[in-house]
Amino acid sequence: MRPITPTAIASSSKCLHSWYLDCFGNPEWKRKWEEGERLQLQRGLEYERKLISQLPGLVEPSWDGWDWQSGHDRTRSLMEEGHPWIYQGVLLNGHFRGKPDLLRKIDGSSNLGSYTYLPIEIKSHNQIIMKDRYQLVSSAMMLEPILGSIPTRGGVWLNTGEVADAELGKDTIVVAGLIEKMQEISGGKLKTESVRCGECRRCLWSTHCEDEWNSLDHVCLLYGISGKTAMRFKRAGLSSWKDVAVLTPQEISERTGLKMKSSISAFQHALARQTGRPVVRGDIRFIDDIPIYFYDIETYGHDVYLHGLIRIFGNEREDQQFIARDPSKEGDIWHQFLDYLSRDEKAIVYCWSDYERPFVKILKEKHGGNPKGLVHLETNLVDQCNWVQERFALPVKSYSIKSVAPYFGFHWDAEDAGGLNSEAWYKEWLETGDESTLEKILRYNLDDVRAMEEIDRALRKWILDHSSPLKISYDL
Ligand code: SF4
């Protein structure tokens, strides 16, 4: 039987189907790790190493990484010796196995004597989340045979530097129930199904699940209908978005118990899928009397190393990129970018999903800059994603630019295009100085702004071509 790990328990708490696929899925169905994900992992490990280097009396069990029993025996010996901190201790308990980031010795009573150990996880977020607690509970359960009882507390070393206390008592029952279900799944007694949820973006089974949803016209392909809401639709007999498209919003609300606003949105998105066309949801006015900019930045850690933009006014169209060949030039490219913007008295600047907005504030505080350029960013920076979403329901499951632009026929030059990957490429550029890597970044960034331009162009054209577009609006 497949061993259950704290990481698997934490993932299963969000999606049990990931455990089902871990047990029975073909490993070839898994997507590959992206370069950006590897970079994040590497950064996490570096951060972890930096933190633990401050710990006095830290020890780590030596083992070959394969023979878990010998790793466990070594860890038990270290605990019996009473070391204050144990890094990556190896724990085993029946079908469970895992390596908590740290075991911390504290005063107390256990099989070991007048001291005991607590599990501690190192995380790069700033507050304890449910998955952290479940991970800690799993480690606590594996400590039981050594300590004689399950620790009721654990800790999370947050990115604020604080080791936050986590009470584990209440979660123990939940985790025990979850483990029972996981055992039923691995024993072939329980079958789960794939339903889109918040974990899918990070999950390595995502391409496999997506193929399945597409083949079933699954209701979870509707924007806003995922996780528990999708299960609500299934329980109401609405397994496919096609079932939703033939109902009225009122009927959807009655059958699912969803509020009217969400039912209208589900209906509009189902209709968009059925017709393959955008459904107009609100009043539309495209700006054409002042210049518009499509704008996207690339970041490396906290630094902004690239501003990419396309300026459009009437028949004029110009693309521009300001890149820092090393992060210390962040201020220089910021000033160049603002000077470029300052040419227009009035302008609208579109970004996608508001990622740029907080950076504008930070860059202004750090570097100041041309007020005539800044004014456009401070008063007329518009989230294009939000703008589109408020006015159109599209046949997409998410309004990320990587979902919306392909619907309008736009595709990125780089197959592995993504913000995280561009960060990994920049790191590669800094290390190797390979110009082709820098060109790849520039192309990727320009494609991002071209994608925004294309969405705008396609929607303008679509409205012009459809003098009476499919408009569905309701007074709530
Ligand atoms: S892709 Fe989503 S639904 Fe599929 S296993 Fe992963 S988290 Fe679950």
In a shared domain, residues 241 and 334: no
Q: Rounded to the nearest whole angstrom, what is the distance from the C-alpha of residue 336 to the centroid of ligand 1?
A: 44
Residues with CB under 6 A from ligand 1: 15, 17-18, 21, 194-195, 197, 199-200, 203, 205-206, 209
Q: Rounded to the nearest whole angstrom, what is the distance from the C-alpha of residue 209 to the centroid of ligand 1?
A: 6
| Amino acid present at 220 | C
Is residue 152 predicted with pLDDT exceeding 90?
yes
pTM equals 0.85
Q: Rounded to the nearest whole angstrom, what is the distance from the C-alpha of residue 380 to the centroid of ligand 1?
A: 38
CATH of the domain at 264: 1.10.150.20
In a shared domain, residues 115 and 222: no
Candidate from 26-40, 91-105, 163-177 with smallest mean pLDDT? 26-40
Helix axes 330-341, 371-379, angle to 10 degrees: 80
Residue 286 lies in a domain: no
Confidence of residue 157 (pLDDT cuts 50, 70, 90): very high
Give the C-alpha separation, 359 to 340, whole Å.
18
Is residue 468 predicted with pLDDT exceeding 80?
no
Beta strand pairing call for 392-393 and 58-59: unpaired
In a shared domain, residues 367 and 233: no
Q: Which of 249, 276, 303 is the last residue of a domain?
A: 276
Query: CA of 127: how far to CAs of 43, 123, 131, in Å?
Result: 19, 9, 11
Question: Ligand 1 pocket check: which of 205, 219, 226, 229 to mutate, most ligand atoms within 8 Å of Cβ?
Answer: 205
In a shared domain, residues 233 and 100: no
**The predicted structure's pLDDT at residue 44:** 85
Q: Rounded to the nearest whole angstrom, what is the distance from the C-alpha of residue 446 to the centroid of ligand 1?
A: 31
Is residue 138 predicted with pLDDT exceeding 60?
yes
Residue 169 lies in a domain: yes
**The predicted structure's pLDDT at residue 273:** 96
**The predicted structure's pLDDT at residue 65:** 92
Residue 475 lies in a domain: no
Confidence of residue 443 (pLDDT cuts 50, 70, 90): very high
In a shared domain, residues 258 and 121: no
- Extract the tokens encoding 217: 């016209």
**The predicted structure's pLDDT at residue 214:** 96
Confidence of residue 193 (pLDDT cuts 50, 70, 90): very high
Q: Rounded to the nearest whole angstrom, what is the distance from the C-alpha of residue 24 to the centroid of ligand 1?
A: 14
- Averaged pLDDT, 235-249: 97
**The predicted structure's pLDDT at residue 22:** 96
Write the pLDDT tens digit of every residue in 359-394.
999 999 999 999 999 999 999 999 999 999 999 999
In a shared domain, residues 157 and 269: no
Q: Rounded to the nearest whole angstrom, what is the distance from the C-alpha of residue 48 to the centroid of ligand 1?
A: 28
CATH of the domain at 301: 3.30.420.10
Residue 196 lies in a domain: no
**The predicted structure's pLDDT at residue 232:** 96
Residues contacting 106, CB < 8 A, separation 6+: 115, 116, 117, 118
Give yes or no for a contact between 281 and 390, defined as CB atoms under 8 angstroms apart. Answer: yes
**The predicted structure's pLDDT at residue 463:** 87
In a shared domain, residues 153 and 253: no
Is residue 317 predicted with pLDDT exceeding 90?
yes
Give yes or no for a contact between 88 and 123, defined as CB atoms under 8 angstroms apart. Answer: no
Averaged pLDDT of the chain: 93
Is residue 1 predicted with pLDDT exceeding 90?
no
| Amino acid present at 118 | L
In a shared domain, residues 347 and 446: yes
Residue showing tokens 């005539």: 372
In a shared domain, residues 226 and 343: no
**The predicted structure's pLDDT at residue 313:** 96
Is residue 421 predicted with pLDDT exceeding 90?
no
**The predicted structure's pLDDT at residue 38:** 85
Give the C-alpha separation, 324 to 322, whole Å.
7
Residue 153 lies in a domain: yes
Give yes or no for a contact between 475 and 264, defined as CB atoms under 8 angstroms apart. Answer: no
Is residue 416 predicted with pLDDT exceeding 70?
no
What's the number of domains the chain is made of?
A: 3
In a shared domain, residues 297 and 254: no
**The predicted structure's pLDDT at residue 465:** 85
Q: Which of 167, 186, 205 is the last residue of a domain?
A: 186
Confidence of residue 159 (pLDDT cuts 50, 70, 90): confident
The atom number, within ligand 1, closest to the CA of 194 reads 3
Calculate ∠ Cα 227-233-235, nearest 5°: 100
Give the C-alpha separation, 425 to 431, whole Å.
10
Residue 203 lies in a domain: no
What one-character-per-residue DSSP string does 254-287 give?
Answer: HHH---HHHHHHHHHHHHHHHHTS-EE-S-----
**The predicted structure's pLDDT at residue 126:** 85
In a shared domain, residues 24 and 119: yes
**The predicted structure's pLDDT at residue 469:** 60
Is residue 476 predicted with pLDDT exceeding 60?
no
Write the pLDDT tens digit of every residue in 264-281.
999 999 999 999 999 998
Q: Which residue has the higher pLDDT, 159 or 268?
A: 268
Torsion region of 260: left, alpha or beta (phi above 0 gives left; psi -120 to 50 gives alpha): alpha
Q: Rounded to the nearest whole angstrom, what is the distance from the C-alpha of residue 20 to the centroid of ligand 1?
A: 10
Q: Where are the beta strands (DSSP E) in 148-207?
A: 153-157, 163-167
- Averaged pLDDT, 427-456: 93
Residue 191 lies in a domain: no
Nearest Cα to Cα of residue 298 among 350, 348, 356: 356
Q: Where are the beta strands (DSSP E) in 220-360?
A: 279-280, 292-300, 303-313, 316-323, 348-351
Candidate from 47-56, 415-424, 444-453 with smallest mean pLDDT? 415-424
Give the C-alpha separation, 289 to 287, whole Å.
6
Give the C-alpha separation, 419 to 10, whole Å.
26
- Averaged pLDDT, 36-40: 82
Give yes or no for a contact between 85 and 123, defined as CB atoms under 8 angstroms apart. Answer: no
Q: Which residue has the higher pLDDT, 48 or 467?
A: 48
Nearest CA to ligand 1 atom 7: 200
Share of the chain above pLDDT 70, in %: 97
Kindly tell me the burial class for residue 64, based on how many C-beta atoms sit within 10 Å of its own C-beta (0-12, 13-18, 19 or more): exposed
- Averaged pLDDT, 288-304: 94
The atom number, within ligand 1, closest to the CA of 21 reads 5
Nearest CA to ligand 1 atom 1: 206
Give the C-alpha separation, 323 to 298, whole Å.
9
Query: CA of 248: how far to CAs of 69, 151, 245, 476, in Å?
Result: 60, 53, 8, 14
Q: Rounded to the nearest whole angstrom, what is the distance from the C-alpha of residue 12 to the centroid of ligand 1?
A: 10
Residues contacting 244, CB < 8 A, separation 6+: 219, 222, 233, 238, 252, 266, 267, 270
The atom number, within ligand 1, closest to the CA of 15 reads 8
Residue 471 lies in a domain: no
Q: Which residue range is the domain that position 242 belongs to?
A: 217-276
The atom number, within ligand 1, closest to the CA of 20 reads 5
Buried/exposed code over 453-470 (b: 16+ C-beta within 10 A; e: otherwise): bbbbebbeeebeeeeeee
In a shared domain, residues 304 and 261: no
**The predicted structure's pLDDT at residue 155:** 97
Residue showing tokens 């599990």: 119
SS3 9: helix
Give the C-alpha separation, 256 to 58, whole Å.
54
